[in-house]
Homo-oligomer: A and B are copies of this chain.
Amino acid sequence: MAIEKNTEFKMRRASDDRHFSERIETLKKQIDEGIATLFRGRKPESLYTPMFYLLEAGGKRIRPILLILSCSAVGGRPKDCLDAALAIELLHTFTLVHDDIMDHDDMRRGRPTVHKQWDEPAAILAGDGLVTLAYQTLLKINHPEIIQVQKTFTDGLLALCEGQALDKEFETRDDVLISEYEKMIEKKTGRLIEVSCEIGAILGNGTKEERENLKKFAALLGKAFQIQDDVLDVRSTEKITGKPMGSDLMEKKKTYLTIHFMGTGSALDKARFLRLWHKDSLQRRDVLKIKALFEEAGTFEAAQCTVEKFIAKALKHLETLPSSESREDLKRMAFKIRDRIC
């Protein structure tokens, strides 16, 4: 009897997961079509082709999906927030295009980055065009709280610039604390995810409390997402991440891993790490040595534990929302983000 129940439970879960994947795929398709429509017939090509290039290369569309699910979770209709969802994806793509120049990254989504495919001027301009097209798309929304939506979007974008500035500052500092790092990623990564869920909740006419809880859910999810990203940079492969293994390390970026390791590693291991870290240019073998040091020191486990902590906190905020399929899908999205390396 117990075995039968367990089997039934597993089958239902598999079916739920399949339906979840189908729903996400449907949303993704709507977003992709919406983006393609935005670009149709636009000229000159020397502006719009580099703008479209990275969008066309795929991407998980996490932010627009979270926006639409947040809207639905408070009782709104996906079609009322599609433009906002597209705007968020354009804004996200803008940050990628400019960040790749700033961080000297050559690969993104398995392709050369925009400034590598064309040149830096084209990539700077493509980014500028993307942020503008994001605003143009956002301005199509017809909702009594459109000004609030725009303020949320704009304040979020400014926080994101601040986060990026702090990230660059940290590259030249050796005394960055985990608390400072968390504040930085709250802005650089968390805020856009937060903005996505908040705008979804506004456009879905959520109550003040619902908006607040979705915001908090998203902020915590964003932090978990970034730390998971830090882990993936060292632990995953180019095939999965679309960029070379250890590119953060090569760029001397402070990540959760480097900061945690420097705070907890043994004196000998830290000295070994710093010898590698201070090399002018890190090779793949150096990255592998650093990875081994992190493994030894339990750095990955610590990161994983922090990710779990943030996800658990995030889910508590979700629980306050009325029960719905969209709320469950938001929960599944959180697990998807958590499980990227599992």
Contact = CB atoms under 8 A, between A and B. Distances in A.
Interface of A: 43-44, 46-47, 98, 101-103, 120-122, 124-125, 127-129, 131-133, 135-136, 139, 146-147, 150-151, 154-155, 157-158, 161-162, 164-166, 168-169
A51 to B, nearest CB: 9
Contact of A154 (B46, B101, B124, B132): B132
Given A46-B169, A122-B168, A161 B139 contact: no
Contact of A121 (B47, B102, B129, B147): B102
A324 B109 CA distance: 58
Contacts of A101: 120-121, 124
A135 B149 CA distance: 13
Contacts of A158: 129, 132-133, 136
Given A101-B124, A164-B125, A157 B132 contact: yes
A150 B139 CA distance: 8
5 contacts: A103-B121, A129-B165, A136-B151, A136-B155, A139-B150
A154 B146 CA distance: 15
A125 B133 CA distance: 18
B139 A154 contact: yes
Given A47-B164, A122-B168, 4 more contacts: A44-B169, A46-B166, A131-B131, A133-B158
Residue among A120, A154, A164, A165 having the largest count of chain B Cβ atoms under 10 Å: A165
A183 to B, nearest CB: 11
B46 A165 contact: yes
Contacts of A147: 139, 146
A124 B102 CA distance: 8
A155 B169 CA distance: 34
Contacts of A169: 44, 46
Contacts of A165: 44, 46-47, 125, 129
A74 B103 CA distance: 48
A161 B147 CA distance: 25
A135 B121 contact: no
A119 to B, nearest CB: 9
B162 A47 contact: yes
A133 B160 CA distance: 12
B98 A128 contact: yes
Contacts of A157: 132, 135
